[in-house]
């Protein structure tokens, strides 16, 4: 069979840090970037005899995420010990949730980038667990940094509902977007706060049975997820086509060679001997607490997309670009609130001018570009025909550098547009008088010359004339006589 006759079947298990001030079972800070072993105490160092105390905020954020993903919230769930040995896990087990997780079922709706291909990806569960420390290997020695030990994680497990690497990345983007909108994560999932295991199999397109799957472990960026899946799908098809069989194995992705390779069986001997954590009570989430969290839920990406399509009459593509990052969507709305009528133009400005600078600078939007209020004020000057669109672009570039406001920058650079009809009419008169041959040609039918006249007038007025007024006056003058 040709490779196109196969389809991939993909399920993802995503681990992401939750945005809390303190760790899951102790009061240590979760702050990223502290000096090694600065944020530690006997609890997160796994000393004998200490007792974990559950961070209420983690439960709230997990419930929020569960509600955002349409999950059933279990009012009774259990923490379990997942036993394994690793130098960054001194107590010899990780506290996780196993048989009774806090959230069950649910789904994510992928917007499909406006191509009409919206798709629902079902979830198996969402549960809470603690992170382990980190091994740091140097030339002649290895060290363990326990700052990350006990940092709260959410594990989000999907059903095998994805059918391509692109769809898997789309799912990850939507998941990140939901975590940020729900206030559960800062979205810097790729700064070490994100790990993904991918279950991948292939089968003949249209088949209902699943093929044998392999698991690719510990991918730490969206790009690696995409590359690993593309590689693994191709590899599995080649094995089947050459008469071989897919083995149920665990693979690692080598980001340098961009291939996956099986781990030795010893590396994933996964008998974790789960049993209920005796130092923690079962977790009870009263329905009043769930109702309270539901009532205070912030707007989610899907809701914001629907609102933008309805209120602002934007295309699905524009909606998807503007809403993917909450801070970009917030910027757009604050800009519009500066009194802009033309939402389309404002959307365009964000998608081109603003995002270009944000991407080039690799800084968050708040640091990369002028405030949304000032950018809104600048665009309002365009709407009021006080400056041209080109002048606005020039001013915006200057504002990015200087940090000054719109009005001051326009003034400083002398960008105010001239709309005075008498002044523009005088310039038009001069241009037409100087070009009698071209005027005759235009009147004989060479319509294209109109642009030439506009250009000449604009040039004569130093680029500051209102092009609409030039057009009107020139049309009148050239029709007359
Ligand atoms: Zn601690």
* E strand spans, 166-211: 194-204
Nearest to 308 by CA among 455, 114, 82: 114
Instruction: Locate 430 and state its tokens.
Output: 């001069």
Q: What spacing in Å lies between the alpha carbon of 128 and ligand 1's midpoint?
A: 17
Q: What spacing in Å lies between the alpha carbon of 424 and ligand 1's midpoint?
A: 72
Q: What spacing in Å lies between the alpha carbon of 172 and ligand 1's midpoint?
A: 30
Q: What spacing in Å lies between the alpha carbon of 86 and ligand 1's midpoint?
A: 19
Nearest to 228 by CA among 270, 197, 266, 272: 197
Q: What spacing in Å lies between the alpha carbon of 150 and ligand 1's midpoint?
A: 7
Instruction: Locate 51 and state its tokens.
Output: 């007792």
Q: Is 415 left (phi over 0), alpha (psi -120 to 50) or beta?
A: alpha
Whole-number pLDDT of residue 411:
87
Q: What spacing in Å lies between the alpha carbon of 38 and ligand 1's midpoint?
A: 10
Instruction: Locate 45 and state its tokens.
Output: 């160092």
DSSP for 228-256, please give it.
HHHHHHHHHHHHHHTT------EEEEETT
Q: What spacing in Å lies between the alpha carbon of 305 and ligand 1's midpoint?
A: 40
pTM: 0.83
Q: How many CB atoms lie within 10 A of CB 232?
A: 26
Q: What spacing in Å lies between the alpha carbon of 191 and ligand 1's midpoint?
A: 21
Give the pairing type, strands 214-219 and 250-254. parallel
CB 380 within 8 A of CB 389: no
Nearest to 51 by CA among 79, 29, 77: 79
DSSP state of 351: I
Whole-number pLDDT of residue 467:
83
Give the pairing type, strands 194-204 and 76-77. unpaired
Q: Is 133 exposed, middle or buried (0-12, 13-18, 19+ CB in 10 A)?
A: buried
Whole-number pLDDT of residue 421:
84
Q: What spacing in Å lies between the alpha carbon of 60 and ligand 1's midpoint?
A: 20
Q: What spacing in Å lies between the alpha carbon of 194 and ligand 1's midpoint?
A: 21
Q: What spacing in Å lies between the alpha carbon of 52 and ligand 1's midpoint?
A: 9
In this structure, what is the dihedral angle of CA atoms 65, 71, 74, 79, given to the nearest 10 degrees? Answer: -60
Whole-number pLDDT of residue 52:
97
Whole-number pLDDT of residue 90:
92
Q: What spacing in Å lies between the alpha carbon of 68 and ligand 1's midpoint?
A: 30
Give the pairing type, strands 79-83 and 93-97. antiparallel
Q: What spacing in Å lies between the alpha carbon of 43 and ligand 1's midpoint?
A: 5
Q: What spacing in Å lies between the alpha carbon of 149 and ligand 1's midpoint?
A: 8
Residues 6+ apart with CB under 8 A from 319: 111, 114, 305, 308, 309
Residue 202: beta bridge partners?
Answer: 8
Q: What spacing in Å lies between the alpha carbon of 40 and ligand 1's midpoint?
A: 4
pLDDT in tens, the chain (481 residues): 888 999 999 999 999 999 999 999 999 999 888 999 999 999 999 999 999 999 999 999 999 999 999 999 999 999 999 998 889 999 999 999 999 999 999 999 998 755 556 799 999 999 999 999 999 999 899 999 999 999 999 999 999 999 999 999 999 999 999 999 999 988 776 666 789 999 999 999 999 999 999 999 989 899 999 999 999 999 999 999 999 999 988 999 998 998 988 886 655 556 888 999 999 999 999 999 999 999 999 999 999 999 998 888 888 889 989 998 899 999 999 999 988 889 999 999 999 999 999 999 988 899 999 999 999 999 999 998 888 888 899 999 999 999 999 999 988 888 887 878 888 899 999 999 999 999 999 988 888 899 999 999 988 888 788 888 899 999 988 886 5
């Amino acid at each position: 069979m040709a490779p196109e006759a196969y389809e991939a079947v993909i399920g993802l298990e995503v681990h992401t840090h939750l945005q809390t001030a303190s760790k899951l079972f102790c009061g240590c800070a979760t702050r990223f970037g502290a000096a090694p072993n600065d944020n530690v105490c006997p609890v997160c160092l796994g000393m004998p005899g200490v007792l974990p105390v559950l961070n209420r905020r983690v439960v709230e954020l997990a419930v929020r995420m569960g509600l955002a993903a349409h999950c059933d919230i279990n009012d009774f769930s259990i923490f379990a010990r997942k036993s394994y040995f690793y130098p960054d896990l001194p107590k010899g087990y990780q506290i996780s949730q196993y048989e009774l997780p806090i959230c069950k079922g649910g789904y994510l709706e992928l917007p499909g980038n406006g191509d009409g291909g919206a798709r629902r990806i079902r979830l198996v569960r969402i549960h809470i667990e603690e992170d382990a420390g980190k091994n740091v290997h140097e030339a002649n020695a290895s060290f363990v940094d326990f700052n990350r030990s006990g940092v709260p994680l959410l594990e989000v497990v999907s059903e095998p509902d994805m059918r391509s690497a692109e769809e898997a990345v789309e799912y990850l983007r939507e998941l990140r977007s939901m975590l940020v909108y729900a206030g559960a994560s800062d979205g810097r999932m790729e700064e070490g706060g994100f790990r993904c295991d991918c279950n991948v199999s292939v089968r003949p397109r249209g088949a209902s049975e699943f093929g044998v799957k392999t698991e690719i472990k510990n991918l730490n960026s969206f790009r690696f997820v995409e590359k690993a899946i593309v590689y693994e799908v191709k590899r599995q098809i080649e094995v089947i086509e050459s008469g071989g069989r897919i083995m149920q194995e665990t693979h690692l992705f080598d980001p340098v060679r961009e291939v996956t390779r099986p781990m030795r069986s010893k590396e994933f001997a996964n008998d974790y001997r789960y049993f209920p954590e005796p130092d923690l009570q079962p977790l009870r989430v009263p329905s009043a607490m769930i109702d309270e969290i539901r009532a205070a839920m912030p707007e989610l990406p899907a809701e914001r997309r629907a609102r933008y399509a309805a209120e602002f009459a934007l295309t699905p593509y524009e909606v998807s670009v503007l809403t993917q990052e909450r801070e970009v969507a917030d910027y757009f709305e604050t800009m519009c609130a500066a009194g802009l009528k033309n939402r389309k133009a404002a959307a365009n400005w964000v998608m081109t001018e603003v995002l270009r600078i944000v991407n080039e600078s690799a800084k968050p939007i708040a640091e990369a570009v002028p405030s949304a209020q000032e950018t809104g004020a600048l665009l309002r000057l365009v709407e009021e025909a006080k400056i041209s669109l080109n002048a606005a672009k020039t001013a915006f570039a200057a504002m990015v550098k200087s940090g000054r406001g719109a009005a001051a920058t326009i003034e400083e650079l002398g960008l105010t547009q001239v709309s005075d009809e008498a002044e523009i009419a005088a310039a038009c008169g001069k241009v037409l008088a100087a070009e009698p041959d071209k005027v005759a040609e235009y009147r004989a039918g060479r319509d294209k010359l109109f642009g030439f006249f506009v250009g000449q007038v604009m040039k004569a007025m130093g680029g500051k004339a209102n092009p609409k007024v030039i057009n009107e006056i020139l049309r009148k003058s050239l029709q007359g006589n």
